[in-house]
Amino acid sequence: MARHSRTLMLPMMAALMTTTVFAQGAMTDVGTPRSETMIVQTFDGRSSNPSAQNPLNSYAIWRGFRELGWAALWEMDTATGESYPELADGFPEVLNDEHTKFRVKIREGIKWSDGEDFNVDDIIFTFDTAFKYRDKLTNVSSITRLVDSYEKIDDHTFEVTTATPVYDFVTRMGVYTWGMPFNWVPQHVFEPLGDEVVTFQNAPAVTLGAYKIKEFDPNGFWQLWELREDWDESGWNIDEEPAVKYVYYKDFGTEETRALAFVQNQYDVDTFMSPDSIEAAKARNPNIETFSPTFPYHDMNDACSYGIYINNQKAPYDMPEVRWALALALDLEQVGISAMSGQFKASPLPLADTPITNPLYVEPLESWLEELTIGDGYKPFNTDFGADLVETLASQGVDQSQLPSGEAVEEGFGIGWWKHDPEQAAKMLESVGMTKGSDGFFTMPDGSPWVLEFVIPGDWNKVLQRVGFSIADSWRQAGFNVNARQVDNGEFGTVQTTNARMELQINWSNSCTYNVNWQNSWRNFRADNVLPADSNDALVQNFARIVDERIFDIVSESASLEIGTEEFVENGRQIAKYLTEDMQMINLMNIPTTIPTNSTYWTNFPKQDNFYAAPYTWWSSFKKTVTNVEPTGQ
Amino acid sequence: MGALVYIAKRFGLYLAVLFIGLSITFLLPRLMPINPVDGYIGQIQSRANGALSAEAIAELRDNLENLYGLKGNLFTQYVDYMKRIVFSFDFGPSFTYFPQPVSQMLMAALPWTLSLLLTATVIAWTLGNLVGLVAGYFHKKKAASILEFVGILLYPIPYYILAVTVLLLLAYVFPVFPLSATFPVGQMSWEKVGMIIYNSLLPGITLVLAGFGWNILSMKALAVATTEEPYVIYARLKGASNWTRMTRYVFRNALLPQVTALALSLGMVFNGALLTEMIFSYPGIGLVMRAAATGGDYNVLYGAITISIIAVATAGLVIDLLYPLLDPRIRHK
């Protein structure tokens, strides 16, 4: 017993020493040199099933797989929105006028992380497996519905015939913004399994990226990746050896624990820390940085925007006057200040206003927004929104040096938003017979009480939860009897897909146009994706409940247009106009996700003034960050 | 004969509790406004950033309903569920992590939960009862008031505040323990076992502190009342020592309700300790249940709740069977 006591005491002492050394920055708690390890907070906290690593089924994706493990035929440069070949050797050759047949060449010399060659046999095997077990595998339908047939031409060339004309083959088979819908699997690992491939866990996975799994926690808190010795033969197509030798994904726990650990330099990149915690951490550690050095600190050029989705089929929301009244009654300046301390970029169009989308959609529609009239000729657009916000923030004591000025105001806070004009909102409601009752709230046209059911996330999305409550407060002050109902993410999804349950919901899923290809976000605005207003059946996308036939026609017509042609882009702008002029959804702001970094061990993270990639650690483009950061020598 | 009837009655009640519990467990998740198929599709869509076509989603929905066993009427699903659980103790696959069997997920989490919570519960119970006994028996002395004060001080503190305070003190201000522990993986060695114990100390201390206060207060109240009982006074008049009166007269008689509370606490251990797991990054069943509840993963919920029901019901049965041994009055009846 005494011997055992000593045996137990030793590791405890060692652990104490490890903690001390860890705090000093020499080694990580998984035994890698801190100076060679980038440590990242996981996107989803803890994984319930980290051993699930088979990408043909649901798997523990948020442990670095798409950022470090997989490789795509074509990856996306998230700084420009342009695709570039990764596994593929160039772009696909279109073999027919109908855009249904494509020839793809893959690069020679690519190896899996276990040293085996990657070639077309792996691709054909993956297709075969997906089709053979399409009713048993849960992550293959994207490919089985897209692809009609496929054929190996040689070891490095294959051809694909699609079920329908496809003009965005590169992003449907590769990456659009943050990840690919389908991954290739190694034939030499999967083929011997036979039918057991459908239950295969695949841990640790054999991968194609420049990093391979060194170790993972079966309890789901962390996963450690190590740079492959043959990184130059990986699927990434990179010439320079990354300085980061290890990438360590770890869940540091609750926001309180994370903030403390961040201050102690225990990790380098966080995710979803609230602006208040970031501010507190920054005050204690000068190496902690936000995305922008000035307001708004947390506009990350996200792919999506937050908006209020409206059930356009349900009375009284089927009337544009009601939808506009909701927009004009909403004091976005107050919402943004109370919910996010002014850390947001407003966006009146149904997409995020980023360096990529601005010249394509926002800037060309700016004068249209200024001239837009509604009702009796009222001009709802407020071009001074950003300037007013700067003024308000300054009056509230924000240091002038932290606030943008001149042209930077528009770059920081957006081109403007809708006027906060409750009087005009009341007029619009009165024009359709909706007046205030004796309780001070607007009623339905027949005089019956009108209670607005507004669904917002619970504390699984704290920023959106706060935004939602602030919006409800703003509406209530303007005379709308709103019930802001916070729900868990499971119910949020059910409300999103069920007409009978949905009136108003804060959402982002149909406003994720990242580049010239607006089809990726809006192609499901189709007549056959509309269900009756009281239906309990599940909607297939079109969560914004768009029922505008004009938009359906444009989407249909654009399906046979080359992506990027002026006609195609103009069609996207027209959809944005229709959505906006009838206020079919109330777009609010770019998603203000927070990704603070700690530059104690690594520098050259993507920032607003150094935007070489989107800063997200859970997008496949994080590989750009991993290959671009530089060690500080600590 | 009487003993057999007693045992048979208790066992019948036990089976009835299990049957009703399992039936309610089947229905409850289905009353949640969450559809696991929607949840899964939402995840896949989000991961693909909308690249899934409407046709692909429709195909996926159909497949998932089949694979999850959600086709067919509710009664057929109920019968299948009961058959699987009663005859093979099989909870089927997780929906969210299909096709991973639920039993594997639970078996991976349970040892962590049990080792931490059983240990912390027993320590908190033992320490709390000992301190409470002394405080109650000597309740007229100043030192007893101080002991009671400890209980009064700890008991009302919300667990979250207590845990964060302990974390701040022992992992940030005085960094004796890690803020966010990393548990070793792979083949176990004594060194790794030591590391696991070391990493479990902070959550363990917090759980003991949280459970300690209630045990002090309840045992103290029982001890005070028992001390005034005629048989204790009689023992004192007969010249029995303080130690004898405290341990043999007061403690044994005050212990019964505390044993009940302990047994029920041990049964509840199977529910996990969600806040502890979240705050201290401790692996356990609480986080598994939370993920299942938010994602509508019915089978994982069935598995976790069923184990908990069985544990609590079994604890109740064991108490019922042990009572006659502990208390001669029940034995006599």
The rounded distance, in Å, linking the Cα atoms of B224 and B132 is: 10
Report H helices in A480-518. Answer: 489-497
Q: In the predicted model, is pLDDT for residue A10 greater than 60?
A: no
Q: Name the residue in chain B with its Cα closest to that of A540.
A: B54
Would you put residue A486 in left (φ > 0), alpha (ψ -120 to 50) or beta? beta
Tens of pLDDT along A565-619?
999 999 999 999 999 999 999 999 999 888 999 999 999 999 999 999 999 999 9
- Residue A281 domain-assigned (yes or no): yes
Give the distance from CA A193 to its chain's centroid.
35
A530-537: long-range pairs with CB below 8 Å, 24+: A530/A313, A531/A499, A532/A313, A532/A499, A533/A311, A533/A313, A533/A314, A533/A499, A534/A499, A534/A500, A535/A498, A535/A499, A535/A500, A536/A498, A536/A499, A536/A500, A536/A501, A537/A498
Question: A308-323 burial string, b = 16+ CB within 10 Å, else e?
Answer: bbbbbbbebbebbbbb
Pick B34's closest partner by Cβ from A7, A11, A494: A494
Beta pairing, strands A481-487 & A451-457: parallel
Q: Are residues A326 and A444 in the same domain?
A: yes
Q: In DSSP terms, which residues pair with A442 in a beta bridge?
A: A436
Q: Are residues A485 and A505 in the same domain?
A: yes
**Residues of chain B neighbouring A144 (CB-CB closer than 8 A):** 56, 59
What is the percent of chain A where pLDDT is above 70? 96
Q: Using the beta-carbon criterion (under 8 Å), do B56 and A218 form an inter-chain contact?
A: no
Q: Are residues A424 and A562 in the same domain?
A: yes
Q: Domain holding A549: CATH number? A: 3.10.105.10
- Residue A396 domain-assigned (yes or no): no
Q: In the predicted model, is pLDDT for residue A21 greater than 70?
A: no
- Residue A158 domain-assigned (yes or no): no
Q: Using the beta-carbon criterion (under 8 Å), do A12 and B56 form an inter-chain contact?
A: no
Name A309's Cβ contacts closer than 8 Å, sequence gap at least 6: A496, A502, A504, A505, A506, A507, A510, A543, A544, A545, A585
pLDDT band for B315, please (50, 70, 90 cuts).
confident
Tens of pLDDT along B121-130?
999 999 999 9
The rounded distance, in Å, linking the Cα atoms of A89 and A97 is: 22
- Residue B259 domain-assigned (yes or no): yes
Tens of pLDDT along A268-311?
999 888 888 999 999 999 999 999 988 898 888 999 999 999 99
Q: Are residues A570 and A622 in the same domain?
A: no
Backbone angles phi, psi at A468, to 5 degrees: -60, -45
Output the pLDDT for position B261.
Answer: 85
Kind and range of the H or E run holding B66: helix B54-68
Q: Name the residue in chain A with its Cα closest to that of B285.
A: A48
Q: Domain holding B205: CATH number? A: 1.10.3720.10
Output the pLDDT for position A25.
Answer: 53
Instruction: Tell me the residue type at B11.
Output: F
Q: Using the beta-carbon criterion (under 8 Å), do B45 and A257 form an inter-chain contact?
A: no
Q: Based on the structure, what is the number of domains in chain B?
A: 1
- Residue B148 domain-assigned (yes or no): yes
Output the pLDDT for position A520.
Answer: 86
**Residues of chain B neighbouring A19 (CB-CB closer than 8 A):** 175-178
Q: How many CA atoms lie within 13 A of A25 on its CB side?
A: 16
Q: Using the beta-carbon criterion (under 8 Å), do B194 and A8 form an inter-chain contact?
A: yes
Tens of pLDDT along A39-91?
999 998 888 889 999 999 989 999 999 999 999 999 999 999 999 999 999 99
Q: Is the peptide bond before A316 cis (omega within 30 degrees of 0)?
A: yes
Handedness of CA A39, A43, A49, A50 (dihedral sign): negative
Are A328 and A422 in contact by the 8 Å Cβ rule? The answer is yes
Q: Name the residue in chain B with its Cα closest to that of A460.
A: B294
- Residue B237 domain-assigned (yes or no): yes
Is residue B160 within 8 angstroms of chain A, CB to CB? no
**Residues of chain B neighbouring A524 (CB-CB closer than 8 A):** 50, 53-54
Q: In the predicted model, is pLDDT for residue A148 greater than 80?
A: yes
The rounded distance, in Å, linking the Cα atoms of A548 and A24 is: 61
Q: Are residues A506 and A543 in the same domain?
A: yes
pLDDT band for B333, please (50, 70, 90 cuts).
low
Pick A489's closest partner by Cβ from B61, B279, B294: B294
The rounded distance, in Å, linking the Cα atoms of A483 and B320 is: 49
Q: In DSSP terms, which residues pair with A452 in a beta bridge?
A: A482
- Residue A78 domain-assigned (yes or no): no
Output the pLDDT for position B332.
Answer: 66
- Residue A138 domain-assigned (yes or no): no
| Mean pLDDT of the region B71-85 | 85
Q: Is the peptide bond before A359 cis (omega within 30 degrees of 0)?
A: no
The rounded distance, in Å, linking the Cα atoms of B91 and B283 is: 21
| Mean pLDDT of the region B155-172 | 90
Q: Based on the structure, what is the number of domains in chain A?
A: 2
Q: Which residue range forms the structural domain that includes residue B211?
A: 111-291
- Residue A568 domain-assigned (yes or no): yes
Q: In what order do the strands lie in the sheet with A147-154?
A: A93-94, A101-105, A157-162, A147-154
The rounded distance, in Å, linking the Cα atoms of B86 and B35 is: 26
Instruction: Tell me the residue type at A465.
Output: Q
Tens of pLDDT along B33-46?
778 888 788 778 77
Residue A205 DSSP symbol:
P
What is the percent of chain A where pLDDT is above 90? 82
The two three-digit tokens of residue B146, written as one number: 């101080």
Q: Are residues A431 and A333 in the same domain?
A: yes
Mean of all residue pLDDT scores within chain A: 92
Beta pairing, strands A630-631 & A381-382: unpaired
Is residue B188 within 8 angstroms of chain A, CB to CB? no
Q: Are residues A427 and A555 in the same domain?
A: yes
pLDDT band for B321, please (50, 70, 90 cuts).
confident
Among the listed ranges A124-128, B139-143, B249-253, which one has the minimum average pLDDT value? B139-143
The rounded distance, in Å, linking the Cα atoms of A513 and A66 is: 21
Pick B42's closest partner by Cβ from A57, A493, A528: A493
Q: Are residues A624 and A543 in the same domain?
A: no
Residue A217 buriedness (CB in 10 A; 0-12 / 13-18 / 19+): buried
Backbone angles phi, psi at A302, to 5 degrees: -65, 160
Q: In the predicted model, is pLDDT for residue A2 greater than 60?
A: no
DSSP state string for B213-249: HHHHHHHHHHHHHHHTSHHHHHHHHTT--HHHIIIII
Q: Are residues A453 and A574 in the same domain?
A: yes
pLDDT band for B189, please (50, 70, 90 cuts).
confident
- Residue A182 domain-assigned (yes or no): no
Min Cα distance B26 → chain A (Å) is: 18
Are B34 and A525 in contact by the 8 Å Cβ rule? The answer is no
Mean of all residue pLDDT scores within chain B: 85
- Residue A117 domain-assigned (yes or no): no
* Residues composing chain A: 634
Kind and range of the H or E run holding A456: strand A451-457
Look at A199 and B156; give whichever has higher pLDDT: A199
pLDDT band for B50, please (50, 70, 90 cuts).
low
Tens of pLDDT along A320-374?
999 999 999 999 999 999 998 899 999 999 999 999 999 999 999 999 999 999 9
Look at A26 and A549; give whichever has higher pLDDT: A549
Q: Are residues A551 and A609 in the same domain?
A: no
Of A10, A13, A9, A31, the closest CA to residue A22 belongs to A31
Q: In the predicted model, is pLDDT for residue B89 greater than 90?
A: no
pLDDT band for A11, please (50, 70, 90 cuts).
very low
| Mean pLDDT of the region B208-226 | 89
Kind and range of the H or E run holding A430: helix A422-430
The pTM score is 0.87
Output the pLDDT for position B153.
Answer: 83
Instruction: Tell me the residue type at A337.
Output: I
**Residues of chain B neighbouring A252 (CB-CB closer than 8 A):** 179-180, 281
The rounded distance, in Å, linking the Cα atoms of B332 and A178 is: 72
Q: ipTM of this model?
A: 0.81
Q: Which residue range forms the structural domain that includes residue A551?
A: 305-355+420-590
Q: Are residues A452 and A524 in the same domain?
A: yes
**Residues of chain B neighbouring A73 (CB-CB closer than 8 A):** none
Q: Using the beta-carbon criterion (under 8 Å), do A134 and B63 form an inter-chain contact?
A: yes
Q: Name the residue in chain B with its Cα closest to that of A163.
A: B55
Q: Are residues A614 and A583 in the same domain?
A: no
Q: Which of B179, B191, B199, B280 to mutate to test the interface with A (most CBs of A within 10 A)?
A: B179
Output the pLDDT for position B46.
Answer: 75
Instruction: Tell me the residue type at A55.
Output: P
Residue A376 buriedness (CB in 10 A; 0-12 / 13-18 / 19+): exposed
Are B196 and B112 in contact by the 8 Å Cβ rule? The answer is no
Output the pLDDT for position B29.
Answer: 79
Q: Using the beta-carbon criterion (under 8 Å), do A220 and B283 form an inter-chain contact?
A: yes
- Residue B70 domain-assigned (yes or no): no
Q: Scan for tokens 């604890």, then name that residue.
A: B315
Cβ neighbour number for residue B2 with a 10 Å cutoff: 8
Residue B142 DSSP symbol:
H
Are A207 and B173 in contact by the 8 Å Cβ rule? The answer is no
Of A332, A272, A335, the closest CA to residue A462 belongs to A272
Could you tell me where the beta strands, DSSP code E, fall in A65-210? 74-77, 82-85, 93-94, 101-105, 147-154, 157-162
- Residue B52 domain-assigned (yes or no): no
Cβ neighbour number for residue A277 with a 10 Å cutoff: 19
Put simply, the chain B residues between 43 and 72 with a CB less than 8 A from any chain A CB are 43-61, 63-64, 66-67
Q: In the predicted model, is pLDDT for residue A399 greater than 60?
A: yes
Min Cα distance A508 → chain B (Å) is: 11
Q: Which of A8, A58, A543 to mutate to test the interface with B (most CBs of B within 10 A)?
A: A58
- Residue B176 domain-assigned (yes or no): yes
The rounded distance, in Å, linking the Cα atoms of A71 and A179 is: 10
Report the SS3 class of residue A51. coil
Output the pLDDT for position A481.
Answer: 97
pLDDT band for A14, please (50, 70, 90 cuts).
very low
Could you tell me where the beta strands, DSSP code E, fall in A176-262? 211-216, 222-227, 246-250
Tens of pLDDT along A427-485?
999 999 999 999 999 999 999 999 999 999 998 888 899 999 999 999 999 999 999 99
Are A75 and A83 in contact by the 8 Å Cβ rule? The answer is yes
Q: Using the beta-carbon criterion (under 8 Å), do A540 and B54 form an inter-chain contact?
A: yes
Q: Domain holding A219: CATH number? A: 3.40.190.10
Helices (H) and strands (E) in chain B, counts: 15, 0
